[in-house]
Amino acid sequence: MSRPRQTDPGNDRPLGPLESAVMNALWEAPGPLTVRQMVDAMADRGLAYTTVMTVLDNLHRKGWAERDLAGRAYRYRPRTSREEHVGRLMAEALSSAADQQAALARFVDAMTAEEAAALRELLQRRGDTDS
């Protein structure tokens, strides 16, 4: 059972700790944020405006965030949802396993009963659409 490696153009560079924190804030935001709004959202970290601006610019350059000009300020939003990102990470991890069936078995063994039930339901739905 071999799975081709999936790539996500632009998102192939790993995030640093501050970039991850900013992405988490973007994912949790109800909508696009300006740099000032991001500074306010991360006030507990005591970050300078220019630091947050640089991180958001880097995230945009790396393909993690999109931005639109609103007046004189950019509004930033995640390029993909957190769930899409996690799904790609899971697919990438699986594609890198020498024995993908064994990796899947370990993954399933680590699931809670609720997670296993959700997986069964998703697989059942997928089977219904493949017929």
pLDDT in tens, 36-68: 999 999 999 999 999 999 999 999 999 999 999
pLDDT exceeds 80 at position 130 = no
pLDDT in tens, 18-32: 999 999 999 999 999
pLDDT exceeds 90 at position 8 = no
Distance CA 66, CA 57 (A): 9
Q: pLDDT above 90 covers what percent of the chain?
A: 79
pLDDT in tens, 62-85: 999 999 999 999 999 999 999 998
Question: Rounded mean pLDDT of the chain?
Answer: 88
For residue 9, name the pLDDT band (cuts at 50, 70, 90). Answer: very low
Q: Which pTM does this prediction carry?
A: 0.74
For the residues 84-107, what does the mean pLDDT come to?
Answer: 92
Give the contacts of 108 (CB within 8 A, at least 6 positions apart).
116, 119
